[in-house]
Amino acid sequence: MKKKILGKTNLEVSIIGFGGIPIQNLSMREAKGLIREVLDAGINFLDTAQGYGDSEVKIGEGIKGRRGDCILATKSPCRNAQQARSHVEKALRRLGTDYIDLYQIHHVSKPYDLEQVLAPRGPIDELVKIKKEGKIRHIGITGHNPDLLQRAIEQSPELETIQFPFNIVEDGEPKRLLLNSAKKLNVGIIIMKPLAGGVIPEPQLSLRWVLQQGVDTVIPGMILSSEVRENATIGDEPLPLSSEELFRLKDAVKDLEENFCRRCMYCMPCPEGVPIYFIQELGDKVKVEAVKKMCQDMYARLDKTVEDCTECGECEKKCPYELPIREMLKEKHKLLTGIEVN
Ligand code: SF4
Ligand code: SF4
């Protein structure tokens, strides 16, 4: 497995990492077995989050006796100092470890989130204190809005990594600017959703394409042994795409590109509080059988759904891809519930 230095953290991470969302769907016994296979395949970077159900607990069980073989990253939506401290303590307990290699501030996707994160005596200042205590070793930030992440790393030298969705469909100038800025500042680059939430039909080509873009590590979700083996093989020898393979990948995603939400969040906020980008994502992922039930359950738990949309059209004025959001949301509601919205 090829490794890279993750920016100024100096951590040496496998270029294929482990995305910890889907492991929620496995039993504890299956999850432990999978984590062992992941580590045996040379994948040493494991990413999870407080918000991924029992993913932290399962990863903690899976790495028992092998803490030295892995680099553990977790995250939470901490927006003040008190939350930062209590969330880190909770993660340490759930992961069954006495240190976390990388603690990331999760889902900073609105200007107000960023204000809170950068505020004096806010979460970053507290995480710096916790780092001095040895409970976490590095600090990062994650989000879907490339402009905000760029502002974050330009304003806070304490942020050592960024994590955001990136693939051939979810590309564009703001992400390229973010990549350039991160490289200039020696900030580690972690890529989530390299398969656009599982909807890109050529997963291996997609992973290789992302690895070609100068990122440090890519963290696809995995629940099958075959996925671990296939992804690890790519990490062993990440060949650049030939022109014929690039053509194949572009051809495979051309239908997606027409009406595909890139989760940039420029359409937010919705005056009714509808989490537009999240519903778009669940509605794409629900087509993948392995995570169908999880997506339906997550949608059922939302405070606001497509049923709360008043069709004001504000979101469509702000979407840079000119997506017919209102129609898309109705389709996704039907996919997620089996019921038409009136
Ligand atoms: S059209 Fe619906 S989803 Fe879009 S901003 Fe208006 S209420 Fe929100
Ligand atoms: S609907 Fe448009 S603006 Fe909103 S997150 Fe998706 S791509 Fe971005």
Task: Say yes or no: 236 and 318 in one domain.
Answer: no
Ligand 2 pocket (Cβ < 6 Å) reads 261-267, 276-277, 280, 319, 321, 323, 325
What is the number of the ligand closest to the CA of 307? 1
Task: Say yes or no: 211 and 303 in one domain.
Answer: no
The model's pLDDT over 182-208, given as tens digits with 9 standing for 90+, comes to 999 999 999 999 998 778 889 999 999
Task: Say yes or no: 91 and 200 in one domain.
Answer: yes
Ligand 2 center–CA 319 separation, angstroms: 5
Q: Which atom of ligand 2 is nearest to the CA of 144?
A: 5
Number of folded domains in the chain? 2
Task: Say yes or no: 75 and 157 in one domain.
Answer: yes
What is the number of the ligand closest to the CA of 278? 2
Q: Cα–Cα distance between 137 and 11 in angstroms, integer?
A: 10
Model pLDDT, residue 259: 82
Task: Say yes or no: 220 and 75 in one domain.
Answer: yes
45, part of any domain: yes
Model pLDDT, residue 21: 87
Closest CA to 62 of 240, 139, 54: 54
Q: Tell me what percent of the residues of the chain surpass a pLDDT of 70.
A: 100
101, part of any domain: yes
Domain with 52 in it? 3-241
Q: Cα–Cα distance between 203 and 4 in angstroms, integer?
A: 22
Model pLDDT, residue 265: 74
Q: Cα–Cα distance between 51 and 147 in angstroms, integer?
A: 24
Ligand 2 center–CA 280 separation, angstroms: 8
260, part of any domain: no
Average of pLDDT values for 83-105?
98
Query: What DSSP string describes 9-35?
Result: G--EEESB-EE-SGGGGS-HHHHHHHH
Cβ–ligand 1 distance for 311 under 6 Å, the answer: yes
Task: Say yes or no: 112 and 33 in one domain.
Answer: yes
Q: Which residues contact 95 (CB under 8 A, 6 or more apart)?
A: 48, 56, 57, 59, 60, 63, 72, 74
Q: Cα–Cα distance between 108 and 285 in angstroms, integer?
A: 22
End-to-end distance of the chain based on CA atoms, in angstroms? 52
The model's pLDDT over 235-252, given as tens digits with 9 standing for 90+, comes to 999 999 999 999 999 998
258, part of any domain: no
Ligand 2 center–CA 241 separation, angstroms: 29
* Residue where one domain finishes, among candidates 241, 265, 284: 241
Task: Say yes or no: 152 and 52 in one domain.
Answer: yes
Instruction: Using the predicted structure, report yes or no on whether residue 256 has a pLDDT greater than 80.
Output: no
Q: Cα–Cα distance between 175 and 104 in angstroms, integer?
A: 19
Give the helix, strand, coil percentages of the chain, each rounded to 5: 50, 15, 40
247, part of any domain: no
Closest CA to 59 of 192, 221, 198: 221
What is the number of the ligand closest to the CA of 266? 2
10: alpha, beta or left, given left = phi > 0 and alpha = psi -120 to 50? left
What is the number of the ligand closest to the CA of 310? 1
250, part of any domain: no
Q: Which atom of ligand 2 is nearest to the CA of 325?
A: 1
The model's pLDDT over 128-177, given as tens digits with 9 standing for 90+, comes to 999 999 999 999 999 989 999 999 999 999 999 999 999 998 898 999 99
The model's pLDDT over 36-50, given as tens digits with 9 standing for 90+, comes to 999 999 999 999 999
Encoding tokens for residue 174?
């703001």
307: alpha, beta or left, given left = phi > 0 and alpha = psi -120 to 50? alpha
Please name the residue whose Cα sits nearest to atom 6 of ligand 1. 312
The model's pLDDT over 260-283, given as tens digits with 9 standing for 90+, comes to 887 777 788 899 999 998 899 899
257, part of any domain: no
Strand order of the β-sheet with 161-165 is: 18-19, 45-47, 71-76, 100-105, 136-142, 161-165, 188-192, 217-218
Task: Say yes or no: 235 and 315 in one domain.
Answer: no
Q: Is 102 helix (H, G, I), strand (E, B) or coil?
A: strand
Task: Say yes or no: 234 and 310 in one domain.
Answer: no
Task: Say yes or no: 46 and 169 in one domain.
Answer: yes
Q: Which amino acid type is present at position 158?
A: E
Task: Say yes or no: 49 and 158 in one domain.
Answer: yes
Cβ–ligand 1 distance for 272 under 6 Å, the answer: yes
Pocket test for ligand 2, best of 261, 274, 318, 325 (most atoms within 8 A of CB): 261
Model pLDDT, residue 53: 85
Ligand 1 center–CA 192 separation, angstroms: 27
Cβ–ligand 1 distance for 304 under 6 Å, the answer: no
pLDDT classification of 322: cutoffs 50, 70, 90: confident
Ligand 1 center–CA 318 separation, angstroms: 11
Tell me, what CATH number does 90's domain have? 3.20.20.100
What is the number of the ligand closest to the CA of 170? 2
Cβ–ligand 1 distance for 314 under 6 Å, the answer: yes
Task: Say yes or no: 155 and 229 in one domain.
Answer: yes
